[in-house]
Structure 1
Amino acid sequence: MPNQFSLVSAPIDIPALMAELDDPAAGAVVTFDGRVRNHNAGQPVSHLEYQAYPALAVPTGQRILEEEAARHGIIAVRAVHRTGPLAIGEAAVWVGVASAHRGPAFDAARAIMERLKYELPIWKKETYADGHTEWVGPDNKSAETGRVGEPEWQGELLEIWISEGNDFRGRHEKGRLDHGIRGVQEIECVAGMGLRGDRYFGYKPDFKGQVTFFDADTVQALRDRFSMPDLSSSVFRRNLIVRGIDLGAWAGKRFRFQGIEFEASEECKPCYWMDEVVGPGAEEFMKANFRGGLRARILSDGILKVKSGNPDG
Protein backbone atom coordinates (compact mmCIF):
# COMPACT_ATOMS: atom_id res chain seq x y z
CA MET A 1 0.00 0.00 0.00
CA PRO A 2 1.61 3.34 -1.04
CA ASN A 3 0.07 5.20 1.91
CA GLN A 4 -0.67 3.61 5.24
CA PHE A 5 -1.67 4.85 8.69
CA SER A 6 -1.64 2.53 11.69
CA LEU A 7 -1.93 2.42 15.47
CA VAL A 8 0.52 0.36 17.53
CA SER A 9 0.74 -0.44 21.23
CA ALA A 10 4.43 -1.42 21.07
CA PRO A 11 7.45 0.82 20.33
CA ILE A 12 7.41 2.14 16.75
CA ASP A 13 9.76 0.19 14.47
CA ILE A 14 11.27 3.15 12.63
CA PRO A 15 13.90 1.21 10.60
CA ALA A 16 11.18 -1.07 9.21
CA LEU A 17 9.05 1.92 8.26
CA MET A 18 11.99 3.61 6.57
CA ALA A 19 12.59 0.47 4.51
CA GLU A 20 9.00 0.59 3.29
CA LEU A 21 9.65 4.04 1.80
CA ASP A 22 12.52 2.86 -0.41
CA ASP A 23 11.71 3.70 -4.01
CA PRO A 24 14.08 4.41 -6.93
CA ALA A 25 11.83 7.28 -8.00
CA ALA A 26 12.18 9.04 -4.64
CA GLY A 27 14.68 11.87 -4.57
CA ALA A 28 13.71 12.88 -1.04
CA VAL A 29 12.52 11.15 2.12
CA VAL A 30 11.40 13.42 4.97
CA THR A 31 10.55 12.01 8.39
CA PHE A 32 9.16 13.37 11.64
CA ASP A 33 9.63 11.64 15.00
CA GLY A 34 7.36 13.07 17.70
CA ARG A 35 8.59 12.08 21.16
CA VAL A 36 7.35 12.32 24.73
CA ARG A 37 9.04 15.26 26.45
CA ASN A 38 9.52 15.71 30.18
CA HIS A 39 7.56 18.94 30.49
CA ASN A 40 4.39 20.67 29.32
CA ALA A 41 3.25 24.25 29.95
CA GLY A 42 6.01 24.72 32.52
CA GLN A 43 5.13 21.58 34.49
CA PRO A 44 7.35 18.47 34.74
CA VAL A 45 5.77 15.39 33.11
CA SER A 46 6.49 11.86 34.34
CA HIS A 47 4.77 9.84 31.59
CA LEU A 48 1.90 9.77 29.07
CA GLU A 49 -0.86 7.44 27.99
CA TYR A 50 -2.71 7.54 24.66
CA GLN A 51 -6.20 6.12 24.12
CA ALA A 52 -7.99 5.70 20.78
CA TYR A 53 -11.01 3.99 19.25
CA PRO A 54 -9.35 2.18 16.32
CA ALA A 55 -12.52 1.84 14.23
CA LEU A 56 -12.65 5.64 14.03
CA ALA A 57 -9.00 6.67 14.40
CA VAL A 58 -7.52 4.42 11.70
CA PRO A 59 -9.91 5.49 8.89
CA THR A 60 -9.44 9.13 9.90
CA GLY A 61 -5.66 8.82 9.78
CA GLN A 62 -5.79 6.96 6.48
CA ARG A 63 -8.02 9.63 4.95
CA ILE A 64 -5.59 12.36 6.01
CA LEU A 65 -2.69 10.52 4.38
CA GLU A 66 -4.58 9.91 1.15
CA GLU A 67 -5.74 13.53 0.89
CA GLU A 68 -2.29 15.02 1.52
CA ALA A 69 -0.55 12.50 -0.75
CA ALA A 70 -2.84 13.54 -3.60
CA ARG A 71 -2.52 17.22 -2.76
CA HIS A 72 1.30 17.23 -2.79
CA GLY A 73 1.88 14.56 -5.42
CA ILE A 74 4.09 12.37 -3.25
CA ILE A 75 5.10 8.76 -3.91
CA ALA A 76 4.35 7.15 -0.55
CA VAL A 77 3.73 7.97 3.09
CA ARG A 78 3.73 6.01 6.32
CA ALA A 79 2.38 7.29 9.63
CA VAL A 80 2.13 5.48 12.96
CA HIS A 81 0.69 6.61 16.30
CA ARG A 82 1.28 4.89 19.62
CA THR A 83 -1.42 3.91 22.07
CA GLY A 84 -1.11 2.90 25.70
CA PRO A 85 1.49 4.10 28.24
CA LEU A 86 4.69 5.77 27.01
CA ALA A 87 7.82 6.76 28.90
CA ILE A 88 9.77 9.99 28.50
CA GLY A 89 11.77 9.91 25.26
CA GLU A 90 9.65 7.31 23.45
CA ALA A 91 8.30 8.00 19.96
CA ALA A 92 4.59 8.78 20.15
CA VAL A 93 4.01 9.48 16.45
CA TRP A 94 6.11 8.98 13.34
CA VAL A 95 5.54 10.27 9.80
CA GLY A 96 7.63 9.43 6.74
CA VAL A 97 7.13 10.84 3.24
CA ALA A 98 8.85 9.78 0.01
CA SER A 99 8.72 12.20 -2.92
CA ALA A 100 10.53 12.92 -6.14
CA HIS A 101 11.56 16.34 -4.80
CA ARG A 102 12.34 17.79 -1.37
CA GLY A 103 9.78 20.63 -1.47
CA PRO A 104 6.66 18.47 -1.69
CA ALA A 105 8.17 16.01 0.81
CA PHE A 106 8.68 18.71 3.46
CA ASP A 107 5.28 20.28 2.78
CA ALA A 108 3.41 16.96 2.91
CA ALA A 109 5.15 15.79 6.09
CA ARG A 110 4.29 19.02 7.87
CA ALA A 111 0.69 19.05 6.66
CA ILE A 112 0.13 15.43 7.66
CA MET A 113 1.58 15.92 11.11
CA GLU A 114 -0.46 19.06 11.73
CA ARG A 115 -3.67 17.38 10.64
CA LEU A 116 -3.00 14.29 12.75
CA LYS A 117 -2.56 16.55 15.76
CA TYR A 118 -5.75 18.51 15.15
CA GLU A 119 -8.07 15.92 13.65
CA LEU A 120 -7.07 12.44 14.81
CA PRO A 121 -9.46 11.13 17.52
CA ILE A 122 -6.77 10.15 20.01
CA TRP A 123 -6.74 11.31 23.63
CA LYS A 124 -3.60 11.90 25.68
CA LYS A 125 -3.44 11.47 29.46
CA GLU A 126 -0.54 13.44 30.90
CA THR A 127 0.72 12.48 34.35
CA TYR A 128 2.78 15.17 36.04
CA ALA A 129 5.57 14.83 38.58
CA ASP A 130 3.28 15.91 41.43
CA GLY A 131 0.83 13.09 40.60
CA HIS A 132 -2.04 15.02 39.03
CA THR A 133 -3.27 14.14 35.53
CA GLU A 134 -4.87 15.94 32.59
CA TRP A 135 -6.56 14.65 29.45
CA VAL A 136 -5.91 16.37 26.11
CA GLY A 137 -7.88 15.54 22.97
CA PRO A 138 -8.07 16.82 19.38
CA ASP A 139 -9.40 20.37 19.27
CA ASN A 140 -10.52 20.19 15.62
CA LYS A 141 -8.85 23.50 14.89
CA SER A 142 -7.62 23.64 11.34
CA ALA A 143 -3.85 23.99 11.22
CA GLU A 144 -4.16 25.94 7.98
CA THR A 145 -7.09 28.27 8.50
CA GLY A 146 -7.51 28.49 12.26
CA ARG A 147 -11.22 27.78 11.80
CA VAL A 148 -12.62 25.74 14.65
CA GLY A 149 -14.79 22.76 13.83
CA GLU A 150 -16.85 22.09 10.73
CA PRO A 151 -19.69 24.06 9.09
CA GLU A 152 -22.81 24.00 11.23
CA TRP A 153 -26.11 22.99 9.62
CA GLN A 154 -28.81 25.60 10.12
CA GLY A 155 -31.73 23.30 9.34
CA GLU A 156 -34.29 21.73 11.67
CA LEU A 157 -34.57 18.18 12.97
CA LEU A 158 -38.25 17.29 12.84
CA GLU A 159 -38.34 13.54 13.50
CA ILE A 160 -36.10 10.72 14.74
CA TRP A 161 -36.78 7.09 13.79
CA ILE A 162 -34.92 3.99 14.99
CA SER A 163 -35.48 0.25 14.71
CA GLU A 164 -33.83 -2.72 16.40
CA GLY A 165 -33.75 -4.80 13.22
CA ASN A 166 -33.48 -4.62 9.44
CA ASP A 167 -36.58 -5.16 7.32
CA PHE A 168 -34.91 -4.99 3.91
CA ARG A 169 -31.17 -5.77 4.03
CA GLY A 170 -30.44 -9.16 2.45
CA ARG A 171 -34.13 -9.87 1.84
CA HIS A 172 -34.14 -9.86 -1.98
CA GLU A 173 -36.73 -12.31 -3.28
CA LYS A 174 -37.60 -13.27 0.31
CA GLY A 175 -39.99 -10.51 1.30
CA ARG A 176 -39.44 -7.86 3.95
CA LEU A 177 -39.41 -8.49 7.68
CA ASP A 178 -41.56 -6.72 10.21
CA HIS A 179 -39.25 -5.13 12.76
CA GLY A 180 -40.98 -2.20 14.33
CA ILE A 181 -39.77 1.35 13.97
CA ARG A 182 -40.36 3.93 16.64
CA GLY A 183 -40.11 7.66 16.86
CA VAL A 184 -38.19 9.31 19.69
CA GLN A 185 -37.67 12.89 20.77
CA GLU A 186 -33.92 12.55 21.26
CA ILE A 187 -31.17 10.05 20.45
CA GLU A 188 -27.60 9.43 21.58
CA CYS A 189 -24.96 9.62 18.83
CA VAL A 190 -21.82 7.57 19.51
CA ALA A 191 -18.71 8.30 17.44
CA GLY A 192 -17.79 5.45 15.11
CA MET A 193 -20.80 3.39 16.20
CA GLY A 194 -24.09 5.02 15.23
CA LEU A 195 -27.35 5.83 16.98
CA ARG A 196 -27.70 3.95 20.24
CA GLY A 197 -30.61 1.52 19.98
CA ASP A 198 -30.72 1.51 16.18
CA ARG A 199 -30.18 -1.52 13.93
CA TYR A 200 -26.91 -0.17 12.54
CA PHE A 201 -25.35 0.65 15.91
CA GLY A 202 -21.89 -0.99 15.86
CA TYR A 203 -22.77 -2.76 12.60
CA LYS A 204 -19.16 -2.81 11.34
CA PRO A 205 -16.07 -0.56 11.52
CA ASP A 206 -16.20 2.61 9.43
CA PHE A 207 -19.72 1.81 8.18
CA LYS A 208 -20.85 4.51 5.76
CA GLY A 209 -24.47 4.47 6.90
CA GLN A 210 -24.24 4.81 10.69
CA VAL A 211 -27.02 7.37 10.33
CA THR A 212 -29.26 8.52 7.47
CA PHE A 213 -30.73 11.98 6.91
CA PHE A 214 -33.97 12.38 4.94
CA ASP A 215 -35.56 15.60 3.70
CA ALA A 216 -39.04 16.39 5.01
CA ASP A 217 -39.78 18.05 1.67
CA THR A 218 -39.18 14.70 -0.04
CA VAL A 219 -41.72 13.07 2.27
CA GLN A 220 -44.27 15.72 1.33
CA ALA A 221 -43.45 15.37 -2.39
CA LEU A 222 -44.15 11.63 -2.16
CA ARG A 223 -47.42 12.24 -0.33
CA ASP A 224 -48.50 14.62 -3.07
CA ARG A 225 -47.24 12.48 -5.96
CA PHE A 226 -48.98 9.30 -4.76
CA SER A 227 -52.05 10.96 -3.19
CA MET A 228 -51.20 9.60 0.26
CA PRO A 229 -51.61 12.57 2.65
CA ASP A 230 -51.21 10.36 5.73
CA LEU A 231 -48.03 8.58 4.57
CA SER A 232 -45.65 8.36 7.54
CA SER A 233 -42.00 9.19 7.02
CA SER A 234 -41.19 6.09 9.06
CA VAL A 235 -41.87 3.79 6.08
CA PHE A 236 -38.63 4.89 4.41
CA ARG A 237 -36.52 3.49 7.27
CA ARG A 238 -34.38 6.64 7.41
CA ASN A 239 -33.30 7.95 10.81
CA LEU A 240 -33.40 11.74 10.85
CA ILE A 241 -36.04 13.79 9.07
CA VAL A 242 -34.70 17.29 8.49
CA ARG A 243 -35.82 20.48 6.81
CA GLY A 244 -33.93 23.42 5.35
CA ILE A 245 -30.81 21.51 4.24
CA ASP A 246 -29.72 20.66 0.71
CA LEU A 247 -28.59 17.11 1.43
CA GLY A 248 -27.21 16.61 -2.05
CA ALA A 249 -24.65 19.37 -1.52
CA TRP A 250 -23.02 17.60 1.45
CA ALA A 251 -21.97 14.19 0.10
CA GLY A 252 -18.31 13.61 0.92
CA LYS A 253 -18.11 16.58 3.32
CA ARG A 254 -17.93 17.09 7.07
CA PHE A 255 -20.42 19.15 9.02
CA ARG A 256 -21.83 19.71 12.48
CA PHE A 257 -25.48 19.38 13.41
CA GLN A 258 -26.64 20.36 16.89
CA GLY A 259 -22.98 20.44 17.88
CA ILE A 260 -22.25 16.86 16.74
CA GLU A 261 -19.73 16.22 13.98
CA PHE A 262 -20.62 14.04 10.99
CA GLU A 263 -18.94 12.98 7.77
CA ALA A 264 -21.37 12.49 4.88
CA SER A 265 -20.54 9.50 2.72
CA GLU A 266 -23.07 9.09 -0.10
CA GLU A 267 -26.70 9.11 -1.15
CA CYS A 268 -28.91 6.52 0.49
CA LYS A 269 -30.09 5.20 -2.84
CA PRO A 270 -33.69 3.98 -3.09
CA CYS A 271 -34.42 0.43 -4.22
CA TYR A 272 -37.45 -1.55 -5.34
CA TRP A 273 -38.68 -1.88 -1.75
CA MET A 274 -39.92 1.68 -2.02
CA ASP A 275 -42.47 0.50 -4.57
CA GLU A 276 -43.74 -1.93 -1.96
CA VAL A 277 -44.02 0.46 0.98
CA VAL A 278 -45.33 3.44 -1.02
CA GLY A 279 -46.54 2.31 -4.42
CA PRO A 280 -45.38 1.45 -7.96
CA GLY A 281 -43.13 4.21 -9.27
CA ALA A 282 -41.84 5.36 -5.87
CA GLU A 283 -38.34 4.00 -6.46
CA GLU A 284 -38.01 5.86 -9.76
CA PHE A 285 -39.44 9.04 -8.26
CA MET A 286 -36.91 8.95 -5.41
CA LYS A 287 -33.93 8.52 -7.74
CA ALA A 288 -34.15 12.14 -8.87
CA ASN A 289 -32.77 15.17 -7.01
CA PHE A 290 -31.05 13.18 -4.23
CA ARG A 291 -34.43 12.19 -2.76
CA GLY A 292 -33.02 8.96 -1.32
CA GLY A 293 -31.41 10.78 1.57
CA LEU A 294 -27.85 11.14 2.88
CA ARG A 295 -25.78 8.47 4.64
CA ALA A 296 -23.17 9.61 7.13
CA ARG A 297 -20.65 8.52 9.73
CA ILE A 298 -20.75 9.92 13.26
CA LEU A 299 -17.45 11.53 14.33
CA SER A 300 -18.26 12.85 17.81
CA ASP A 301 -20.57 11.96 20.69
CA GLY A 302 -23.68 13.91 21.58
CA ILE A 303 -27.47 14.04 21.83
CA LEU A 304 -29.73 15.02 18.94
CA LYS A 305 -33.17 16.41 19.76
CA VAL A 306 -36.20 17.08 17.59
CA LYS A 307 -37.33 20.68 17.22
CA SER A 308 -40.67 20.22 19.01
CA GLY A 309 -43.82 18.15 19.03
CA ASN A 310 -44.23 14.44 18.37
CA PRO A 311 -42.48 12.39 15.65
CA ASP A 312 -44.29 12.60 12.33
CA GLY A 313 -46.40 15.39 13.72
Structure 2
Amino acid sequence: MADVEVLQLLVSPSHRLAGRPADGLPSGPPDERVSQVEVRRHLGLVGDRYYARPAHRNAAVTIMAAEKLPLEIGPSADLRHTRRNILLRGVDIDGFLGATIALDSGDGPVVFAVNRPARPCAWMDVTIGPGAQRALRGGGGVRCTPLSDGVIRLGPATFRVLPDPDGAA
Protein backbone atom coordinates (compact mmCIF):
# COMPACT_ATOMS: atom_id res chain seq x y z
CA MET A 1 0.00 0.00 0.00
CA ALA A 2 1.22 3.50 -0.82
CA ASP A 3 0.15 6.91 0.36
CA VAL A 4 -0.78 9.12 -2.58
CA GLU A 5 -2.59 12.39 -3.15
CA VAL A 6 -5.56 12.94 -5.43
CA LEU A 7 -4.61 16.35 -6.84
CA GLN A 8 -7.36 16.89 -9.41
CA LEU A 9 -10.55 15.28 -10.67
CA LEU A 10 -12.17 16.09 -14.00
CA VAL A 11 -15.70 15.20 -15.10
CA SER A 12 -16.47 16.48 -18.56
CA PRO A 13 -20.00 16.12 -19.96
CA SER A 14 -18.81 16.62 -23.55
CA HIS A 15 -15.95 15.50 -25.74
CA ARG A 16 -13.98 18.74 -26.13
CA LEU A 17 -11.01 17.64 -28.24
CA ALA A 18 -12.81 16.74 -31.45
CA GLY A 19 -11.83 17.64 -34.97
CA ARG A 20 -8.35 18.71 -35.98
CA PRO A 21 -5.91 20.37 -33.58
CA ALA A 22 -5.00 22.89 -36.29
CA ASP A 23 -8.57 24.22 -36.07
CA GLY A 24 -8.04 25.30 -32.45
CA LEU A 25 -9.85 24.42 -29.26
CA PRO A 26 -13.63 24.10 -29.35
CA SER A 27 -15.60 26.12 -26.83
CA GLY A 28 -16.74 24.58 -23.59
CA PRO A 29 -16.77 25.22 -19.87
CA PRO A 30 -13.52 26.83 -18.72
CA ASP A 31 -13.04 24.39 -15.84
CA GLU A 32 -14.55 20.94 -15.43
CA ARG A 33 -12.52 20.01 -12.37
CA VAL A 34 -14.51 18.87 -9.35
CA SER A 35 -13.77 18.13 -5.69
CA GLN A 36 -15.22 14.60 -5.77
CA VAL A 37 -16.47 12.03 -8.27
CA GLU A 38 -19.03 9.26 -8.03
CA VAL A 39 -17.74 6.05 -9.57
CA ARG A 40 -20.12 3.37 -10.81
CA ARG A 41 -19.07 -0.22 -11.46
CA HIS A 42 -18.57 -0.93 -15.18
CA LEU A 43 -20.08 2.47 -16.09
CA GLY A 44 -17.51 5.14 -15.19
CA LEU A 45 -17.78 8.55 -13.55
CA VAL A 46 -21.28 9.94 -13.11
CA GLY A 47 -21.68 12.96 -15.39
CA ASP A 48 -18.64 12.23 -17.57
CA ARG A 49 -18.84 11.95 -21.36
CA TYR A 50 -17.83 8.27 -21.28
CA TYR A 51 -20.29 7.25 -18.54
CA ALA A 52 -22.29 4.13 -19.54
CA ARG A 53 -21.03 4.22 -23.14
CA PRO A 54 -20.63 0.61 -24.33
CA ALA A 55 -17.64 1.50 -26.52
CA HIS A 56 -15.79 2.95 -23.51
CA ARG A 57 -16.69 0.57 -20.69
CA ASN A 58 -13.16 -0.86 -20.62
CA ALA A 59 -11.66 2.63 -20.72
CA ALA A 60 -14.23 4.84 -18.97
CA VAL A 61 -11.82 6.32 -16.41
CA THR A 62 -8.35 7.67 -17.12
CA ILE A 63 -5.81 8.03 -14.32
CA MET A 64 -2.56 9.98 -14.71
CA ALA A 65 0.52 10.61 -12.55
CA ALA A 66 1.21 14.27 -11.78
CA GLU A 67 4.92 13.55 -12.01
CA LYS A 68 4.50 12.87 -15.75
CA LEU A 69 2.99 16.26 -16.63
CA PRO A 70 5.40 18.09 -18.97
CA LEU A 71 5.60 21.24 -16.83
CA GLU A 72 8.78 22.32 -18.62
CA ILE A 73 6.62 22.72 -21.75
CA GLY A 74 3.43 24.01 -20.14
CA PRO A 75 3.98 25.17 -16.54
CA SER A 76 0.24 25.26 -15.85
CA ALA A 77 -0.55 21.86 -17.44
CA ASP A 78 -3.22 19.89 -15.61
CA LEU A 79 -6.30 17.76 -16.26
CA ARG A 80 -7.98 20.54 -18.22
CA HIS A 81 -5.19 20.14 -20.80
CA THR A 82 -4.72 16.36 -20.81
CA ARG A 83 -8.44 15.49 -20.52
CA ARG A 84 -7.69 12.70 -18.03
CA ASN A 85 -10.06 12.12 -15.08
CA ILE A 86 -7.88 11.51 -12.02
CA LEU A 87 -4.49 13.11 -11.32
CA LEU A 88 -2.46 11.33 -8.64
CA ARG A 89 0.80 12.30 -6.98
CA GLY A 90 2.98 9.58 -5.50
CA VAL A 91 2.56 6.59 -7.82
CA ASP A 92 3.75 5.85 -11.34
CA ILE A 93 0.35 4.62 -12.53
CA ASP A 94 1.71 3.89 -16.03
CA GLY A 95 3.64 0.98 -14.53
CA PHE A 96 0.50 -0.89 -13.46
CA LEU A 97 -0.91 -2.03 -16.81
CA GLY A 98 -2.86 -5.26 -16.36
CA ALA A 99 -3.19 -4.81 -12.59
CA THR A 100 -6.25 -4.43 -10.41
CA ILE A 101 -5.84 -1.44 -8.08
CA ALA A 102 -7.77 0.15 -5.23
CA LEU A 103 -7.83 3.88 -4.54
CA ASP A 104 -9.26 5.01 -1.19
CA SER A 105 -9.63 8.71 -0.43
CA GLY A 106 -11.51 8.12 2.82
CA ASP A 107 -14.89 6.75 1.72
CA GLY A 108 -13.72 3.18 1.14
CA PRO A 109 -11.73 1.63 -1.68
CA VAL A 110 -12.73 2.09 -5.30
CA VAL A 111 -11.40 -0.75 -7.45
CA PHE A 112 -10.20 -0.37 -11.04
CA ALA A 113 -8.89 -2.74 -13.70
CA VAL A 114 -5.94 -0.97 -15.37
CA ASN A 115 -6.47 -1.97 -18.99
CA ARG A 116 -4.29 -0.01 -21.38
CA PRO A 117 -2.21 3.13 -21.84
CA ALA A 118 -3.89 6.46 -22.50
CA ARG A 119 -1.83 7.48 -25.47
CA PRO A 120 -1.22 11.21 -25.90
CA CYS A 121 -2.57 12.72 -29.09
CA ALA A 122 -1.70 15.74 -31.22
CA TRP A 123 -4.09 17.85 -29.13
CA MET A 124 -1.48 17.82 -26.33
CA ASP A 125 0.74 20.07 -28.47
CA VAL A 126 -2.17 22.54 -28.66
CA THR A 127 -3.47 22.38 -25.08
CA ILE A 128 -0.08 22.17 -23.30
CA GLY A 129 2.49 23.33 -25.83
CA PRO A 130 4.66 22.14 -28.72
CA GLY A 131 6.43 18.89 -27.85
CA ALA A 132 3.93 17.78 -25.18
CA GLN A 133 2.66 14.82 -27.19
CA ARG A 134 6.17 13.43 -27.48
CA ALA A 135 6.98 14.21 -23.83
CA LEU A 136 3.89 12.30 -22.66
CA ARG A 137 4.67 9.10 -24.59
CA GLY A 138 4.81 6.31 -22.05
CA GLY A 139 3.43 8.61 -19.37
CA GLY A 140 0.02 9.75 -20.60
CA GLY A 141 -1.86 7.76 -17.97
CA VAL A 142 -3.93 4.60 -18.07
CA ARG A 143 -7.47 3.74 -19.19
CA CYS A 144 -9.42 1.81 -16.59
CA THR A 145 -12.66 -0.03 -15.91
CA PRO A 146 -14.22 0.66 -12.52
CA LEU A 147 -14.93 -2.64 -10.76
CA SER A 148 -16.78 -1.15 -7.78
CA ASP A 149 -19.02 1.75 -6.86
CA GLY A 150 -17.65 4.52 -4.67
CA VAL A 151 -16.52 8.08 -4.23
CA ILE A 152 -13.09 9.59 -4.82
CA ARG A 153 -12.28 12.95 -3.26
CA LEU A 154 -9.40 15.39 -3.53
CA GLY A 155 -6.69 15.01 -0.93
CA PRO A 156 -4.74 12.21 0.74
CA ALA A 157 -5.52 8.67 -0.39
CA THR A 158 -4.13 5.17 -0.31
CA PHE A 159 -3.21 3.17 -3.39
CA ARG A 160 -2.76 -0.57 -3.47
CA VAL A 161 -2.46 -3.33 -6.00
CA LEU A 162 -4.92 -6.16 -5.41
CA PRO A 163 -3.82 -9.77 -5.89
CA ASP A 164 -7.14 -11.02 -7.23
CA PRO A 165 -8.19 -9.83 -10.72
CA ASP A 166 -11.84 -9.73 -9.52
CA GLY A 167 -10.92 -6.97 -7.05
CA ALA A 168 -11.18 -9.00 -3.83
CA ALA A 169 -8.44 -8.22 -1.33
Q: Provide Cα deviations, 1:239-260, integer angstroms capped at 9, x if missing partner.
A: 1010111212211111111101
1:284 match: secondary structure: helix
Structure 2 residue 165 is the aligned partner of structure 1 residue 295: no
Aligned-residue CA RMSD in angstroms? 2.0
Kindly state the Cα deviation for residue 153 of structure 1 after the two structures are TM-superposed.
Answer: 5.4
Residue by residue, what CA displacement relative to the aligned partner does 1:62-87 show, whole Å, maximum 9, x if unpaired? xxxxxxxxxxxxxxxxxxxxxxxxxx
Query: Per-residue deviation at 1:230?
Result: 3.2
Normalised by the size of structure 1, how large is the TM-score? 0.45
> What is the CA distance between 1:178 and its match in structure 2?
2.3
**Aligned equivalents of 2:22 and 2:76: distance in 1?**
28
2:109 is equivalent to residue 265 of structure 1: no
Instruction: Give 1 or 2: higher helix fraction.
Output: 1
Residues 9 and 37, structure 2, Cα contact 8 Å, conserved in 1: yes
1:234 positional shift: 1.7
Quick one: which amino acid aligns to residue 144 of structure 2?
Answer: A
Q: Give the percent of matched residue pairs that are identical in Structure 1 and Structure 2.
A: 26
1:155-189 deviations in Å (ceiling 9; x for gaps): 221111111100124x2478442232411111100
Residue 41 of structure 2: which of 143, 167, 191 is its match?
191
Alignment equivalent of 1:256, drawn from 93, 99, 102:
102
Output the amino acid matched with 1:266. R
2:17 corresponds to: 168
Mind listing any 5+ residue stretches in structure 2 that lack a counterpart? 157-169
Contact 2:45 2:60 in 1 (8 A): yes
Question: Looking at both structures, which has the greater relative contact order when contacts are Cα pairs under 8 Å and sequence separation is at least 6?
Answer: 2
Which protein has the larger Cα radius of gyration, Structure 1 or Structure 2?
Answer: 1
- Tell me the TM-score normalised to structure 2 length: 0.80
* Aligned ranges 1:216-227 → 2 under 5 Å: 216-219=66-69, 222-223=70-71, 225-226=72-73
Aligned twin of 1:230: 76
CA distance in 2, matches of 1:281, 1:217: 17
Structure 1: runs of 5 or more not aligned: 1-151, 309-313
Aligned partners of 1:249 and 1:277: how far apart in 2? 25
Aligned residues: 150
Counterparts in 2 of 1:229 and 1:246: CA distance versus 1, 3 Å: closer
